[in-house]
Amino acid sequence: MSSLQFDIAHLLAGSLVLASFMMLYQDRLYALLNVYALHAGVLALSVAWQAYVQHAPHLYVTALIALVFKAIIIPVALHRIIRRLGIHREIENVIGVGLTMMAGIGLVALSMVVMLRVTPGADALAREDLAFSLSVVLLGLLIMVTRRNAVSQVVGFMSLENGLVLAATGAKGMPLVVEISVAFSVLIAFIVIGIFLFRIRERFDSVDVQALDRFRGERR
């Protein structure tokens, strides 16, 4: 593998982490969705580059799935949901942006340390990919934890899943079946969560998960 190829792969994976960071501080839902679409687009690019580098044509299919489903269908569908729920003006912030960003940086550092330490024997590209994808997964979790709106939690979950796909494509010889089934399961999860969103909203007139807590008689 030439140095340029490696650098481009590195760049794309790094961009994915950057996109995750961008998602961290979006406090408007539409903006969050747009960044998520960007996130998925970068993922598609990254996967396509991996397909080219690894001479693995089936990865192009994965890239296509990522582009179609994650960068187009899901954001569009979420847009519609938000519009129908009428929550596009909602602003949410649980913890301050600065603190969240600091935590995110800490997580990236942690995943680098972990991955560089546990995979000394692996291929350099796979190592980098794994480190970046672990960062994306952790950042996705962080998004889920710091939001209280159900839609943005869904988005956090989706970005977490993008991290998994990145890890999967970085490892050579991942069968297509696995990728398709992962994509499919995400779609199912999306549908289920979407239905839930409407159920929650129907019941509580809000998709703020605090409503659920209030319903259970909790105080925070």
Partner 1 sequence: MIAVALWSVAVLLALAPAGVVLSTRPRGSLILYGGCLIATSTLCVTALTDLLYFPHLAPSVTLPIGLPWLGAHFRLDALSAFFLVVVNLGGVAASLFALGYGQHEDSPGRVLPFYPAYLAAMNVVVLANDAFSFLVAWEFMSLTSWAMVVSHHREAENVRAGYVYLLMASFGTLALLLAFGLLASGAGYDFDAIRASHPSAALTGMVVILVLLGAGSKAGLVPLHAWLPLAHPAAPSHVSGLMSGVMTKVAVYGFVRIVFDLLPEPVWWWSMVVLLVGGPTATLGVLYALMQRDIKRVLAYSTIENIGIIFTGLGLALAFKAEGLDWVAALAFTAAMLHVFNHALFKSLLFFGAGAVLGATGERDMEKLGGLIHRMPKTAFAVLVGCVAISALPPFNGFVSEWLTFQAILLSPQLPNWGLKLIIPAVGGLLALAAAFAAACFVKLYGISFLGRPRSDVAASAHETDRFSLAAMFALAVLCLVAGILPGLFIDALAPVSKAMVGNVMPYQTGLDWLTIVPIAESRSSYNGLLVFLFAALSGMAAASAIHRLASDRLRRAPAWDCGYPDPSPTIQYSASSFSQPIRRVFGSVIFAAREIGEMPPPLSPSPARLTVDMRDLIWDALYAPIAKVIGVATERINMLQFFTIRRYLTLVFAALIVLLLVVAL
Q: Which stretch binds partner 1 (CB under 8 A): 22-30, 125-133, 139-147, 167-175?
A: 139-147
Which span (20-28, 31-39, 107-115, 181-189) binds partner 1, by CB under 8 A?
107-115
**Nearest-angstrom CA–CA distance, 141 and 107:** 10
Report the residue from 73, 144, 176, 180 that binds partner 1 according to the rule CB under 8 A.
Answer: 144
Residue 100, interface with partner 1 (CB under 8 A)?
Answer: no
Q: Which residue among 122, 145, 182, 187 contacts partner 1 (CB under 8 A)?
A: 145
Q: Residue 89 or residue 219: which is nearer to partner 1 going by CB? A: 219
Residue number with CB closer to partner 1 (110 or 188):
110
- CA triple 140-78-201, angle to 5 deg: 95
Instruction: Of 12, 81, 5, 70, give the one whose Cα is nearest residue 37.
Output: 70
- Residue with smaller CB distance to partner 1, 38 or 207: 207
Is the CB of residue 188 less than 8 Å from the CB of residue 195?
no
User: Dihedrals φ, ψ of 49, to 5°?
Assistant: -60, -40
CB 104 within 8 A of CB 21: yes
Does position 212 interact with partner 1 (CB under 8 A)? The reply is yes
Cβ atoms < 10 Å from Cβ of 25: 17
Contact residues for partner 1, defined by CB under 8 A? 107, 110-111, 113-114, 117-118, 138, 141-142, 144-145, 148, 209-210, 212-213, 216, 218, 220
